[in-house]
Amino acid sequence: MLSQVKEKVKQLKRETVPIYHALFDRRTPVAAKILAGLTIVYLLSPVDLIPDFIPVLGLLDDLILVPLLIKATLRLIPKYVIDDIKVKIDSKEKLPAKWYYALPVVLLYSYLLVVLFGYARQWFDL
């Protein structure tokens, strides 16, 4: 069962290349471009919302969040656009991992740490 889930996740991750190319296609609606951009940034970011080193929870974003983002993005992009993009690109193409894609997640973590530190100062009267 776990192998089937992993295979489905791999299959969905293959859809990221057409989603990436749909970002730059004029026929893609604005709402789809926004969600596609968020999806691509999250997938390419080396930092996960839930770090992988946390047992069980670390895998939840890969098994639940990523597929949901990909499916939601694909639903917003017209099927003919995705089909046209798939014809034009090589299915083996992969997206580059860039360090600056992690910036939004790092900023979110930094903000959460500052907020938690502020609450800890109030709680412990530091």
Q: pLDDT per residue over 63-77, tens digit each?
A: 778 788 888 999 999
pLDDT reading at 124 higher than 70 = yes
Contact predicate 70/39, CB 8 Å: yes
C-alpha 23/C-alpha 30 separation (Å) is 9
Q: Name the residue among 110, 109, 97, 112 with its Cα closest to residue 41.
A: 97
Instruction: Give the confidence band of 3 by pLDDT, cuts at 50, 70, 90.
Output: confident
Note the pTM of the prediction, 2 decimals: 0.60
Instruction: Give the confidence band of 57 by pLDDT, cuts at 50, 70, 90.
Output: confident
Please, which residues have CB within 8 angstroms of residue 107's CB and are 6 or more apart in sequence?
none
Mean predicted confidence (pLDDT) in 13-40: 88
Please, which residues have CB within 8 angstroms of residue 24's CB and are 6 or more apart in sequence?
none
What pLDDT is recorded for position 90? 66
C-alpha 8/C-alpha 6 separation (Å) is 5
Please, which residues have CB within 8 angstroms of residue 31's CB and are 6 or more apart in sequence?
76
pLDDT reading at 92 higher than 60 = no
Mean predicted confidence (pLDDT) in 62-91: 85
**Domain extents in the chain:** 2-124
